[in-house]
């Protein structure tokens, strides 16, 4: 699957991939979406998902992105608390 999202800071890609892999306990960051799709019973192919509904795509990407955002917010809050000490 081709990535359509452009990351604003390309140097951050490895860090984001590591976070995704750690949070989802996946073997590789790329496999995370396939593991989520399998858990939810959504057929996801490696190359062509033109018939995948928007709803199903959201059911796959939502948990991944949601967990990543929650963790990034948690880390930022922790850093701010430590700075204010």
- The domains of the chain are located at 10-83
pTM as predicted: 0.65
Q: How far is the C-alpha of 14 from the C-alpha of 20, rounded, in Å?
A: 10
Stretches where the chain sits below pLDDT 50 are 1
pLDDT at position 29 is 77
pLDDT at position 77 is 93
pLDDT at position 49 is 81
pLDDT at position 5 is 66
Sign of the torsion formed by the C-alpha atoms of 80, 6, 25 and 49: positive
pLDDT at position 73 is 93
């Amino acid at each position: 699957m081709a990535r359509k999202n452009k990351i604003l800071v390309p140097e951050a890609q490895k860090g984001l991939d590591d976070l995704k892999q750690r949070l989802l306990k996946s073997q590789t960051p790329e496999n995370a979406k396939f593991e989520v799709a399998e858990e939810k019973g959504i057929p996801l192919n490696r190359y062509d998902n033109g018939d995948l509904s928007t709803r199903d795509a959201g059911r796959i990407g939502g948990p991944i992105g949601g967990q990543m955002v929650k963790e990034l917010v948690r880390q930022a809050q922790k850093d701010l608390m430590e700075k204010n000490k």
